[in-house]
Structure 1
Amino acid sequence: MDLVLSAADYYFFTPYIYPATWPEDDIFRQTISLLIVTNLGAYILYFFCATLSYYFVYDHSLMKHPQFLKNQVYREIKFTVQSLPWISIPTVSLFLLELRGYSKLYDNIGEFPNGWFHLIVSVISFLFFTDMLIYWIHRGLHHRLVYKRIHKPHHIWKIPTPFASHAFHPVDGFLQSLPYHIYPFIFPLHKVVYLGLYILVNIWTISIHDENGCKNEKLCNGEFTKTK
């Protein structure tokens, strides 16, 4: 995330927003900047990709299904808009730790003897690690002690549209994104790869909430196991 923040400081925050006397590496300034960048980026990515998916991929005949709720698209968007700022708070705390040098993110492929090979392996490892943890987190969220209050709000959308992709309870949304953030604290990962994977993961989340996602996973019935 330091790559994004550096660009934001250079082109926007430093010349136009913050006083010249406020150092760019000040932790309070970094926190404020990360909150702005994270929320703005999340909203742009969500609305841009969900809108494209909704108009060009989503099967609108599903909206005639008896379980499709009244004003559902509006409600999905409203739920998301209200949840994202809360999800961003713990997310930014992790971004801040990365920014302060506590993660294993690196920006020079030459730091490893087999740099490119290590980079490719890290991508595969990232996908395996996150998919495995999200499965167990998702399964845990279906436990009767937490499902009703935390995870059930996402399953209100029995026939989801792409706009339901980020319509989570804030705790639910953060927990399911947590594996993506803790990976670079455990394993080395290139900064550009991390940023690219973070964006792709959000696009993937949107894509599994179109009609194809409902066919491949039992999302419409509130189940987490894949169909055979």
Structure 2
Amino acid sequence: MEDHGSTYLGLFVDETTFYNRIVLGSLLPSRVWEPLPHFLQTWLRNYLGGTLIYFLSGFLWCFYIYYWKRNVYVPEDAIPSKKAMLLQIFVTMKAMPWYTALPSLSEYMVENGWTKCFSRISDIGMLAYLVYLATYLVIVEFGIYWMHRELHDIKPLYKYLHATHHVYNKQNTLSPFAGLAFHPLDGILQAVPHVAALFLVPTHFTTHIVLLFLEAIWTANIHDCIHSNLWPVMGAGYHTIHHTTYRHNYGHYTICMDWIFGTLRDPLDDGSKKVM
């Protein structure tokens, strides 16, 4: 590969190459991945990294709430069956190669200078970084809310894409493994706001990658049916209501967008829709 180190865009290529070597070098023999083009190395790194995060977060959380703290957080009759969780894993793993194509594409666009990404926080200063990060998160919250809501409101999108995820509509069918159990295109569409934000606001490249992969951990958490009651976080209590009513709590990290657009339903205030 051409040496890009003397250019600013080369910093992004150097960074992704470094990440590729850390992940792929730790998991695969060099003869398997080093001959691959840079883009395919990046996709393979994202695929293996995303898969590891999915299984580690899912298994550890399931072990904690279903076995170590059995009957503390989830009643015995509400623990999902092994069959249900294996099906969720199967659906997720079919989609994982496609999910991880999106961050690979976003990294390619960053490396080629198509976005507003910057490589080093020191280039702009900490205060500007925090302002840009807050703006990025608002864009993601707004974008995911409306993408998720339209996947319900536009009937063909729901029927052919989002319904795959909503077969899990009761507490004893929801588990941390359901977090990424989507039709591949559905999962990609809901992550698109992360990529769109790169074109709208200056974004720290590493922060973007971290936030994308944190999605795997976050989605595991909001499908465990445990209401944390930590305002304004859109925790599992809110999201379980979404899986039972289909018309509320479309939001992502916070309840703000549902509150603004009138679709919020609080699990503590709504006794008629109690899920715990």
Deviation, structure 1 residue 133: 0.6
The Cα offsets for residues 9-58 of structure 1, whole Å up to 9 and x where unpaired, read as 47839x923798x7xxxxx7122112211110110110111112212246
Gaps of 5+ in 2: 1-11, 227-234, 250-264, 267-276
Superposition deviation, residue 111 in structure 1: 2.6
Which residue number corresponds to residue 38 of structure 1? Answer: 46
CA RMSD of aligned residues (A): 2.8
**Matching residue of 1:149:** 160
Partner-residue secondary structure (3-state), 1:103: coil
- Give the match for residue 86 of structure 2: 74
Residue 136 of structure 2: aligned partner: 126
Q: Tell me how far 1:140 sits from its aligned partner.
A: 0.6
More helix as a share of residues: 1
- In 2: Cα distance, 1:44 partner to 1:180 partner: 21
Is the Cα contact below 8 Å between 1:165 and 1:209 reproduced in 2?
Answer: yes
User: Match for 2:64: what amino acid?
Assistant: F
Q: 1:111 to 1:214 in 2, by over 3 A?
A: closer
Matching residue of 2:110: 98
Which one scores higher on RCO, CA 8 angstroms, separation ≥ 6?
Answer: 1
Deviates more, 1:133-142 or 1:45-54: 45-54
The unaligned stretches of length 5 or more in structure 1 are 23-27
Question: Quick one: structure 1 residues 18 and 209, their matched pair in 2 at CA, closer, same or farther if it must change by over 3 Å?
Answer: closer
Whether the aligned pair in 2 keeps the contact of 1:5 and 1:37 (CA below 8 Å) is: no
Give yes or no for contact 1:107–1:192 (8 Å, CA) kept in 2.
Answer: yes
Q: Say whether the 8 Å CA contact 1:162–1:210 is kept in structure 2.
A: yes
Q: 1:86 to 1:192 in 2, by over 3 A?
A: closer
How many pairs are equivalent? 218
d(CA) in 2 for partners of 1:129 and 1:153?
A: 26
Closer/same/farther in 2, CA of residues 214 and 222 from structure 1, 3 Å limit: farther
Equivalent positions of 1:108-187 (< 5 A) are 108-112=120-124, 115-142=125-152, 143-158=154-169, 159=171, 160-187=174-201
| Partner Cα distance (1:190, 1:86) in 2 | 24
Moved more, 183-192 or 45-54: 183-192
Calculate percent identity across the aligned residue pairs.
25
3-state secondary structure, aligned to 2:100: helix
Asked if structure 2 preserves the Cα contact closer than 8 Å seen for 1:162 and 1:209, the reply is: yes
Q: What is the deviation of 1:87?
A: 2.4
1:63 and 1:95, CA in 2 relative to 1: closer, same or farther beyond 3 A?
A: farther
Where 1:137 maps in the other structure, the secondary structure is helix
Give the TM-score, by structure 1 length. Answer: 0.83
Structure 1 pair 86–200 and aligned structure 2 pair: CA distance change class (3 A)? closer
Q: What is the distance in 1 between the residues matched to 2:17 and 2:204?
A: 16
Secondary structure, counterpart of 2:155 in structure 1: coil
Task: Please report how far the alpha carbon of residue 222 of structure 1 lies from its aligned counterpart in structure 2 after TM superposition.
Answer: 5.4
Query: Separation in 1 of the partners of 2:82 and 2:59?
Result: 19
Change in Cα spacing, 1:41 to 1:97, as seen in structure 2 (3 Å) is same
Shift of 1:205: 1.6
Q: Following superposition of structure 1 onto structure 2, how do residues 24-35 of structure 1 map, counting pairs within 5 Å?
A: 29-35=37-43
Q: Which residue of 2 aligns with 1:202?
A: 216
Q: TM-score, normalised by structure 2?
A: 0.70
Aligned partners of 2:20 and 2:42 also within 8 Å: no
Distance 2:82 2:105 in 1: 37
